């Protein structure tokens, strides 16, 4: 049976679905059916796209425990990675139905999207239940988010939906290159052919209850021959004097939060709009760009750089993850 948040469905389930609750029941009668609402928390501002997050078929997985308000050590698992799916109209549903029990404290942990692999749950007494995402690889293209909530039920009755506010667990990183006429000459532009990033971790393990958990990054990946991220422009991409963003759209970098290693660098291949088809390759470290050396969960960083006879970085822009969608061409740091 798919549980849907509506008055008719709630009454029907309350009358007909008591037998579907297979958890050990406390010494009290159950209350109203347990349901969910989901959004993206204010600290993160936006998921990959608001429409994608709430679209029909979008799903997260939820884990939950309950324990007596008088005894936090006797923990019962209520949800164990249950998939909760959006109908695209603001209703989130799951197979079967669970109920609220009075005199119980509930703790919820959730991961979006439901397709994320390597997720484990560690039930624990009190508020210590935690999730872990092991060996997560950002090259999967998943915008990983987590949420948590706590509810204490004093007596039986109608209870509001569990409001899960998801927060980003990754860092968005982009680069903006520009042509500097004061160095190149009037009307001259750099034509970008490719850009590659080397020397940062692309895997890691996250542990926590929501977006405030902690990452353990893997070893820096890539070598002189194999970049971590790369984007190519076969027809060339002109870098304007105001700046042109790269690593956007399908090539967006959603990175493991980490202290950026000293070996982190960008390598670009380019030519100029005058002087023929001869190409140049420039390399520069960006880990020490004005001491912005840490990528934090839920933040966006954009590294501005100028290309003339080399690559010269300016101070990175840093802000909360503000863009809807993440691949919008109008990405701005306010």
Write the pLDDT tens digit of every residue in 88-140: 999 999 999 999 999 999 999 999 999 999 999 998 876 788 999 999 999 88
For the record, the structure tokens of 60 come out as: 């997260």
- CA 234 – CA 248 distance, rounded (Å): 16
Say if residues 218 and 206 touch (Cβ distance below 8 Å): no
Evaluate whether 7-168 and 171-320 have a shared fold: yes
pLDDT band at 325 (very low <50, low <70, confident <90, very high): very low
| Displacement of CA 245 from its chain's centroid (Å) | 21
For the record, the structure tokens of 98 come out as: 């669970």
Number of CB atoms found within 10 A of residue 232's CB? 12
- CATH fold group of domain 7-168: Immunoglobulin-like (2.60.40)
Q: Is-above-0.95 flag for pTM?
A: no
- CA 61 – CA 80 distance, rounded (Å): 8
Please write the tens of the pLDDT for every residue from 246-268.
998 888 899 999 988 888 889 99
DSSP β-ladder status, 130-137 and 119-122: antiparallel
- CATH fold group of domain 171-320: Immunoglobulin-like (2.60.40)
pLDDT of residue 218: 92
Between 245 and 71, residue with greater pLDDT: 245
pLDDT of residue 78: 95
| Arithmetic mean of pLDDT, 18-30 | 49
Task: List residues bridging with 60 in a β-sheet.
Answer: 84
pLDDT of residue 116: 95
- CA 22 – CA 235 distance, rounded (Å): 61
pLDDT band at 141 (very low <50, low <70, confident <90, very high): confident
Predicted confidence (pLDDT) at residue 272 exceeds the cutoff of 50: yes
pLDDT band at 222 (very low <50, low <70, confident <90, very high): low
Please write the tens of the pLDDT for every residue from 166-189.
999 999 998 999 998 887 888 889
Task: List residues bridging with 198 in a β-sheet.
Answer: 265
Q: Which of 81, 69, 60, 61 is nearest to 123 (CA)?
A: 81
Instruction: Give SS3 for 185.
Output: coil
Domain spans in the chain, listed from the N-terminal domain onward: 7-168, 171-320
Dihedral, CA atoms, 91, 162, 6, 79, nearest 10 degrees?
90
Number of CB atoms found within 10 A of residue 333's CB? 15
Predicted confidence (pLDDT) at residue 298 exceeds the cutoff of 70: yes
- Give the up-direction half-sphere exposure of residue 199: CA atoms within 13 A in the CB hemisphere: 15
Kindly give, in sequence order, each residue whose CB lies less than 8 Å from that of residue 57, ignoring residues fewer than 6 positions away: 85, 86, 88
SS3 content of the chain, % helix, strand, coil (to 5): 10, 45, 45
- CA 78 – CA 272 distance, rounded (Å): 62
pLDDT band at 29 (very low <50, low <70, confident <90, very high): low
Between 34 and 278, residue with greater pLDDT: 34
Give the DSSP H or E segment for 134: strand 130-137
């Amino acid at each position: 049976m798919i549980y849907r948040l509506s008055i008719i469905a709630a009454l029907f389930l309350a009358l007909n679905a008591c037998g579907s609750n297979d958890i050990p029941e406390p010494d009290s009668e159950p209350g109203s059916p347990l349901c969910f609402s989901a959004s993206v928390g204010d600290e993160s501002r936006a998921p990959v796209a608001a429409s994608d997050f709430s679209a029909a078929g979008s799903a997260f997985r939820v884990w939950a425990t309950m324990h007596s308000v008088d005894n936090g050590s006797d923990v019962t698992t209520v949800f164990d990675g249950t998939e909760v799916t959006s109908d695209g109209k603001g209703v989130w549903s799951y197979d079967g139905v669970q109920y609220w029990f009075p005199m119980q404290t509930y703790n919820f942990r959730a991961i979006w999207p439901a397709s994320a692999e390597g997720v484990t749950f560690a039930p624990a007494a009190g508020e210590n239940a935690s999730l872990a995402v092991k060996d997560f690889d950002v090259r999967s293209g998943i915008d990983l988010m987590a949420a948590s909530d706590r509810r204490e039920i004093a007596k039986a009755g109608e209870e509001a939906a569990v409001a899960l506010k998801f927060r980003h667990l990754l860092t968005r990183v982009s680069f903006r290159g520009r042509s500097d006429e004061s160095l190149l000459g009037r009307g001259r532009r750099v034509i970008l052919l490719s850009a590659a990033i080397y020397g940062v971790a692309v895997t890691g393990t996250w542990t926590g209850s929501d977006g405030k958990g902690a990452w353990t990054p893997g070893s820096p990946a890539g070598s002189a021959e194999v970049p971590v991220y790369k984007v190519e422009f076969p027809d060339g991409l002109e870098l304007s004097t105001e700046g042109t963003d790269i690593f956007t759209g399908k090539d967006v970098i959603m990175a493991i939060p980490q202290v950026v290693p000293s070996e982190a660098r960008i390598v670009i291949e380019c030519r100029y709009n005058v002087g023929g088809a001869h190409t140049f390759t420039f390399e520069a470290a960006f880990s020490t760009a004005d001491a912005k050396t840490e990528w934090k969960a839920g933040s966006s960083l954009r590294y501005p750089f100028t290309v003339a006879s080399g690559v010269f970085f300016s101070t990175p822009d840093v802000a909360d993850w503000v863009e809807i969608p993440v691949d919008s061409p109008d990405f701005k740091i306010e």
